Amino acid sequence: MSNPYDTAKPRKASVLGPTLKFKGELTADEDLMIQGSIEGSIKHSSSLTIGESGHVKANVAAEYIAVEGNVEGDIHGTQSVTVRETANISGNISSPTVSLLEGATFNGNIDMTGKAFAKTGDDTATPKSAEPVAAEKDSADKAAAEAPRKKATKVAKKSADAA
């Protein structure tokens, strides 16, 4: 089954080659293929492909995103995110449409509701602070961990009272 967001005819894209190393904020309005190393942030208004030799350590925001290489950071596609077989992602994905192909390595969460990212005034999506989500998760983890202990304590008290 093909991805409905793949374009019918190939489009020309600017290519950041495999020997390129970039640190900072990368912004672009044309289709872009990353084969090099990027560290910082990527804000893009069109199609972005992180190629097989691409290494990205950044939060990424673009309209359409295809990942074939390595990404360490959160990914937000305003239309779609496709994670191909060769991809290795450590971070969260947020997009209305997400495709994970068999063979891809992914460690993170997927949000297809649009709640994980907030709109900024310049029409680019930026990740919300992860602290409230982490705090909620920590309190839920603590409650789950304490629940068996409380139950075990009640059982132990009943056993002691019966003896």
Question: 56 pLDDT exceeds 70?
Answer: yes
CB atoms within 10 A of CB 91: 19
pTM over 0.75: no
Average pLDDT over residues 116-141: 43
Of residues 131 and 13, which shows the higher confidence score?
13
pLDDT tier at 117 (50, 70, 90 boundaries)? low
What's the pLDDT at 13?
80
- Mean pLDDT for the chain? 76
pLDDT tier at 156 (50, 70, 90 boundaries)? very low
Of residues 51 and 142, which shows the higher confidence score?
51
Say which amino acid occupies 39: E
DSSP code string of the chain: ---TTS-SS----EEE-TT-EEEEEEEESS-EEE-SEEEEEEEESSEEEE-TT-EEEEEEEEEEEEE-SEEES-EEEEEEEEE-TT-EEES-EE-SSEEE-TT-EEES-EE-SS-SEEE-TTS-EEEPPSHHHHHHHHHHHHHHHHHHHHHHHHHHHHHHHH-
